Amino acid sequence: MATTEKDKPKKQLIREAAARLFRDKGYSATSMRDLADAVHLRASSLYNHISSKEEILKDICFENAYRFLATMEEVEQMDASATQKVMALLHLHIRTATEDFTSVTAFNDEWRHLSEPDLSAFKALRKNYEGRFQAIIEAGIRAGEFHSVEPAIALHTLFSSVRWLYDWYKPGKKITAEDLEEQMCRLLMKGMTKQ
């Protein structure tokens, strides 16, 4: 069953509100006051949950990075074809984009506002994930499962292709999350055209 807004812990609601403000107003222009208003808390109560917007940004970025790396670890252990591995990772990207709005912060541009040494640490995790995803694509090309394509182009096209879902998908849309995942996976794996 899908998680409803009410089931989410306060900390997650604060993070999602912050992600939305960072996206709408920009990270620099977002104040703790804006955030308190967005989650209907007094500023003083907000500080019981988090100490600064820098802390929220850091939490959001690293939680998302670790979640993606944990799934990568599982996928690499699978006794499966490159096609099945890429599909498992695509499902993760799509599900994350529809279920957790904070991922917009980590995977669009807001992570650029991290300060050092967090910025370099986050970039290294991102690079690690991208390198391992690209290795799976390369294995699929070598095995003759995938069309011959520059692996970096395939990688970034796949990553980027799900980035509209944050804004578009809402529980209650006439399409279910499962159908959406299936249609997008098919589109990316099999393409638009029938031949």
Interaction site with its own copies (CB under 8 A): 23-29, 83, 86, 108-109, 112, 137, 140, 144-147, 149-150, 152-154, 156-165, 168, 175, 180, 183-184, 186-194
Q: Quick one: 102 or 140, whose CB is closer to its own copies? A: 140
Instruction: Calculate the alpha carbon distances from 7 to 50, 54, 60, 142 in Å.
Output: 20, 26, 19, 45
Please, what is the minimum distance in Å from the beta carbon of residue 85 to its own copies?
12
Q: Quick one: 6 or 190, whose CB is closer to its own copies? A: 190
Q: Quick one: 83 or 128, whose CB is closer to its own copies? A: 83
Q: Quick one: 41 or 82, whose CB is closer to its own copies? A: 82
Long-range contacts of 56-60 (CB under 8 A, 24+ apart): 56/14, 56/15, 56/18, 57/18, 57/22, 57/27, 57/105, 57/110, 57/111, 57/113, 57/114, 58/114, 58/118, 59/15, 60/15, 60/18, 60/19, 60/102, 60/105, 60/106
Please, what is the minimum distance in Å from the beta carbon of residue 135 to its own copies?
15
Please, what is the minimum distance in Å from the beta carbon of residue 137 to its own copies?
8
Q: What are phi and psi of 33, to 5 degrees?
A: -60, -45
Please, what is the minimum distance in Å from the beta carbon of residue 165 to its own copies?
8
